[in-house]
Chain A
């Protein structure tokens, strides 16, 4: 009797559905449904006042063929940002985590805390801090230091300067990129099995670099993949830095990222259909890059 009841519980468990239901409902309403609406809207012309009218692929065609700002500024900026902050930040998290893993507990914890803390400064702190740092006259810290070092003679108006804006946004992005992924990698390295390292040494591993390539990375592929997905998402969704530093649209579209483009069309011009199309492109980009990293780090066996 007891046995059949367990068997029943293991096959068709109604409680299973009940337990997943509360999360499932909120997930469906605030994640699935909005995504579906975005896809639907992307095929329409919608200005938030009159009803959306179906226009087929027009928004996507316009995005590719007609949107000079998108093709000339937004896409190249986003790609540059994603490569440097996404890939570069990812490599940096790995190297830092690897270095930290060789420290004893207290210094490791302190270092990790310092590296992680910038991710907690999103929003208010970010604006205040970097705006003051990059103030465009001699009262700005960066300007003052550069002048003291004799690198520049005249203060640079950083936050409206087309040349410097994107690099500044990228530096701020890198600064705040040691997030959950970094912690995951650190923990992954720390939990590697000692036997493997010992066996590696017997099998003729010569230095720490070989150890990293042949033992550390292969044993923590799942953490590497999780961190990769996190840094891809982070690299593509971060538009707040540009907006907070330089407004939207940024001067000369110099630091306009895809997220800023969506906000520009959605909340400033109220071309909701078009903004939705850009959103769908953003979601697809993230998906494509995540699939690539799954191919790289996914468990093949």
Chain B
């Protein structure tokens, strides 16, 4: 085979690529259909939800499902705005804490030299394989022992240390040239100065990636609301949406449930689209060596 130039990551569209696009299309459509379905379902008026045989696409889209979702929350003791507020506070706090802690730790593990550093990195690498659901019960004990039950901390703290995020950020910090840090030392910079003025500006893609990964963990998290928080007014939006989806498991409730899931899905999608470039940049250094 004569070498006809690189086909990996081509700059321009060429006819040859159409074959590949068509080849993957069926699978891509299979992945896409359920998402289209949620979107259609959320906007279906009552008679289309009840239609038999059921219709996949929406014909006369309405906002009915969203308004009845709002109405349903007005009759309950706690307004939906409370859950939105809870979720926003929890999500923002978790993402900020997690990103700050992870970038600090990544800087330390990657660029500072001290005893036990490699061992700490090893521990985190093993923790990539950590399965949170396996320790739900012991975590519950820890949360109770620390008197965190029924506080925002019960939502936040269990998610803050996310080994995958630290790992990805650390791999990215590795690509910052040591010469830059040595030069900063020569100029008399402290470690804090190097962290804020050299490392952070250079690892923005990794910060975005770590942030989005934590966001995806915390935004949909129902475990903490289920097990660590009893006070209804402190539970999060994901939990509330799930309750609605399960309570109204009739055809009439389906539209509301679909509307609820769309509300949970869209913020994630937007954040991901905005940051996808950074994510792909970070993934380039994601390998385990």
Q: In the bound complex, do residue B261 and residue A35 qualify as a contact, i.e. CB atoms below 8 Å apart?
A: no
Chain A, residues 1-37, CB within 8 Å of chain B (1/0): the string is 0100110011111111111101110110111111111
Residue B179 interfacial (CB < 8 Å): no
Contacts A20-B104, A30-B139, A103-B10: A13 and B128 contacting too (C-beta < 8 A)? no
Given contacts A6-B182, A299-B289, contact A198 B138 (CB under 8 A): no
Q: Known A103-B17, A118-B34, A124-B238; judge A266-B8 contact (CB<8 A).
A: no
Q: Verify if B166 is at the interface (C-beta below 8 Å from A).
A: yes
Q: List 18 A-B contacts (CB under 8 A).
A: A6-B182, A13-B112, A15-B190, A15-B191, A19-B104, A19-B107, A26-B160, A33-B138, A100-B24, A117-B32, A124-B261, A188-B283, A222-B288, A226-B286, A230-B128, A280-B134, A286-B131, A287-B129
Distance between Cα atoms of A144 and B281 in the complex (Å): 44
A202 at the A/B interface (Cβ < 8 Å)?
A: yes
Which residues on A sit within 8 Å (CB–CB) of B117? 16
- Measured between beta carbons, the chain B residues less than 8 angstroms from A194 are 6, 8
- The reply to whether B264 and A2 contact each other, CB–CB distance below 8 Å, is no
> Closest chain B residue to A37 by CB distance?
B138
Q: Hey, which chain A residues are within 8 Å of B31, CB to CB?
A: 114-115, 117-118, 175, 178
Contact of B288 among A96, A114, A229 (CB under 8 A): A229
Total contacts A-B at CB 8 Å = 341
**Interface size for chain B: under 10, 10 to 19, 20 to 34, or 35 or more residues?**
35 or more
B233 at the interface (CB under 8 A from A): no
When A37-B138, A125-B264 are in contact, do A10 and B113 touch as well, CB less than 8 Å?
yes
Which residues of B (16-59) have their CB < 8 Å from a CB of A? 17, 20-21, 23-24, 27-28, 30-32, 34-35, 37-38, 41, 50, 52-54, 56
Query: Which one of B66-74, B76-84, B85-93, B267-275 is at the A interface?
Result: B267-275
Residues of B within 8 A of A131 (CB): 249
- The 7 closest A-B CB pairs, nearest first, are A222-B287, A201-B3, A125-B261, A16-B112, A19-B108, A187-B283, A37-B138
- Provide the bound-state CA to CA distance between A290 and B124, in Å: 14
| Residue among B129, B137, B220, B269 with most chain A CB within 10 A | B137
Report yes or no: A99 in contact with B20, Cβ–Cβ below 8 A.
Answer: yes
Q: Is the CB of B213 within 8 A of A223?
A: no
Bound state CA distance, A36 and B261, in angstroms?
Answer: 36
Let me know if B272 and A111 touch, CB within 8 A. Answer: no
Digit string of A61-82 for contact with B (CB within 8 Å is 1, else 0)?
0000000000000000000000
**B214 touches A (CB below 8 Å):** no
B109 within 8 A of A: yes
Q: A124-B238, A125-B265 are in contact. Are A17 and B114 (CB under 8 A)?
A: yes
B residues near A119, Cβ cutoff 8 Å: 216
- Inter-chain contact A279/B139, CB cutoff 8 Å: no
> When A109-B276, A118-B35, A290-B129 are in contact, do A188 and B20 touch as well, CB less than 8 Å?
no
Give the chain A neighbours of B120 by CB distance below 8 A: 20, 24
| Residue contact A16 to B108, C-beta cutoff 8 Å | yes
Q: Enumerate chain B interface residues (CB-CB to A < 8 A).
A: 1-3, 6-14, 17, 20-21, 23-24, 27-28, 30-32, 34-35, 37-38, 41, 50, 52-54, 56, 100-102, 104-105, 107-109, 112-115, 117, 120, 123-124, 126-139, 141-142, 146, 157-158, 160-161, 163-164, 166, 182, 185-186, 190-192, 195, 213, 216, 220, 222, 227, 238, 241-242, 245-246, 249, 251, 254, 257-258, 260-262, 264-265, 268-269, 272-273, 276, 279-281, 283-284, 286-289
A55 interfacial contact with B, CB 8 Å? no
Nearest CB in chain B to that of A108: its residue? B9
**A286 & B104 in contact (Cβ 8 Å cutoff):** no
Task: Please determine whether B6 and A197 come into contact, CB atoms closer than 8 angstroms.
Answer: yes
Closest to B164 in A: A180
Q: Check: A283 CB closer than 8 A to any chain B CB.
A: yes
Contact of A99 among B24, B50, B195 (CB under 8 A): B24
Q: Tell whether A269 is near chain B: CB-to-CB under 8 Å.
A: no
Q: Are A133 and B161 in contact (CB under 8 A)?
A: no
The size of the chain A interface, using a CB distance under 8 A, is 125
B147 to chain A, nearest CB (A): 13
Select B38's contact among A129, A188, A286, beta carbons within 8 Å. A129
Question: Which residues of the partner chain B approach A236 to less than 8 Å between Cβ atoms?
Answer: 131
Partner of A30, one of B38, B104, B157, B251: B157
A86 part of interface (Cβ distance < 8 Å): no
Could you say which of B105, B137, B186, B264 contacts A123, with CB atoms under 8 Å apart?
B264
**B residues less than 8 Å from A130 (CB atoms):** 34
A101/B9 in contact, CB under 8 A: yes
* Distance (whole angstroms) from the CB of A243 to the closest CB of chain B: 11
In chain B, what residue has the closest Cβ to A287? B129
Let me know if A272 is at the binding interface, CB within 8 A: yes
Q: Is the CB of A23 within 8 A of B166?
A: yes
A26, A133, A198, A294: the one contacting B37 at CB < 8 Å is A133
Q: How far, in angstroms, from A36 to B53 measured CA to CA in the complex? A: 54
Given A23-B161, A194-B6, A139 and B166 contact (CB-CB distance below 8 Å): no
